Amino acid sequence: MPYTFKILSSITEISVDNWNAVTGTDYPFTRHEFLHALEASGATGKQCGWETRHVLVYDNTNLIAIMPSYLKQHSFAEYVFDHAWADAYHRHGVDYYPKLVSAIPFSPVTGQRICIVPTHDAATVHNAIKEFIIEYCRTHKLSSWHLLFPEKSISDQLDHLSEHSSDQFAQRTAVHFQWFNEGFTNFDEFLALFSSRKRKNLKKERLQVARQSISLEVFEGSDIPEHIWERFYYFYQMTYAKRSGHGGYLCKSFFQQLAKTMPESLVLVLAKVENEGDEEYIAGALNLRDSNTLYGRYWGCLQEFKHLHFETCYYQGIDYCIKEGLTRFDPGVQGEHKIQRGFRPVFTYSNHWIKEPGFRAAIGDFLKEEKEMIEAYQKQTSLQLPFKCTTQKGPS
């Protein structure tokens, strides 16, 4: 019997238990609680151009797969940049929006994007989803479908499924910088991989933070009191206001709801400064975690202190991973400054289906050329790593 599909216009149309039974509760970004916090706080919704269109797949009456998805009226906060594609559509008098995006809003972290119960063959379900979504886009006059930051195996499989189809689903590559735990028992063991000069530079950065009378605290989940959330959110707003002229994509209730519904996934690093006997929190970085990975997501500060961003967002995260036995630290997108701090360049992926054949062919050609440049960039940045031997083990 063929699979049947249902599109949700709100995550409240399905219970927490039924959703999480398919997605699991380890990887935080596909949990019902995380996506509901986005929706309930107004970070997603029609008013901001992220209309819920979550895809549910059933075998008879049994829910067997979920793909978080959104109808988009713009390309902001996706971190896979297709603005040039939208401009090309506009120049030719064709609408690029709305489009369908299967992604986690504001979260450019690789992970589950198509969640399937283990009793079903993943390749069969992926093919069924692909066929359904393409027909859905045609029926609802959507220009395209974009799957952002799936695991490599899923991206490769979807790319393979389109090889012999006129509806090609082109794969796109990018490079992010991530840290990998090679069984370190402390930070100094990690630094032992560095060349002498690079090791001295990093130690100097950490020492300069301490010399500014700054100390760091790490809070986990339910140990974070309300007044700390108030302070962190103030940092977050102030940093966005300075950088972008607005208070950020997320409001305070989003963070407060996460603290109530999934505290075990939260790791908050706060920096405080001592001034004439008084202590004041001045900066913070909120991370999410699962059983293997720490994800650096949200940062804010009141004023600039030398090397404080590196200490709060990177070195404290590495310390935490070593302490907790986590194997990977994904600190977020961009930032070649991460290379000299031991974060390796790794490939990330997205997949794109374009309805208009002419644009589909042009974008496909562009992605092939871009891939060659991305692969060259990954090799080049790998040679810039601070280690004594740049061939140290670690995924590429």
Laid out side by side, the sheet with 99-102 consists of 50-52, 70-72, 99-102, 144-148, 344-354, 169-180, 328-330, 293-301, 278-289, 266-275, 214-220
User: Rounded to an integer, what distance in angstroms lies between the CA atom of residue 178 and that of residue 331?
Assistant: 7
Residue 170 to residues 113, 150, 180, 270: CA-CA distances in angstroms? 16, 13, 29, 41
Delimit the CATH 3.40.630.30 region(s) of the chain: 4-174+346-382, 182-326
Hey, how many other C-beta atoms are within 10 angstroms of the C-beta on 247? 15
| 153-157, 268-272, 315-319, 339-343: segment of lowest average pLDDT | 153-157
What confidence category does residue 394 fall into, taking pLDDT thresholds of 50, 70 and 90? low
What would you measure as the largest C-alpha separation in the chain, in angstroms? 73
Residues 6+ apart with CB under 8 A from 21: 63, 117
- According to the CATH classification, is domain 182-326 in 3.40.630.30? yes
Mean pLDDT of 194-213: 97
User: Residue 161 corresponds to which amino acid?
Assistant: L
**CATH topology for the 4-174+346-382 domain:** Aminopeptidase (3.40.630)
What confidence category does residue 280 fall into, taking pLDDT thresholds of 50, 70 and 90? very high
pTM for this entry:
0.95
Q: Is the pLDDT assigned to residue 357 strictly greater than 60?
A: yes
Mean pLDDT of 257-282: 92
List, for residues 288-319, the tens digit of each pLDDT value: 999 999 999 899 998 889 999 999 999 999 99
pLDDT at 166: 65
The pair of three-digit structure tokens given for residue 43, joined into one six-digit string: 């970070």
Residue where the block lists tokens 């499924």: 161
Mean pLDDT of 50-78: 97
User: How many alpha carbons lie under 13 Å from residue 15 in its C-beta half-sphere?
Assistant: 4
Residue where the block lists tokens 């735990």: 181
User: Rounded to an integer, what distance in angstroms lies between the CA atom of residue 69 and that of residue 34?
Assistant: 14
Task: Show the DSSP H helices in the chain as ranges.
Answer: 16-23, 32-40, 83-91, 122-139, 152-161, 187-191, 196-211, 226-244, 252-261, 308-310, 316-324, 357-382
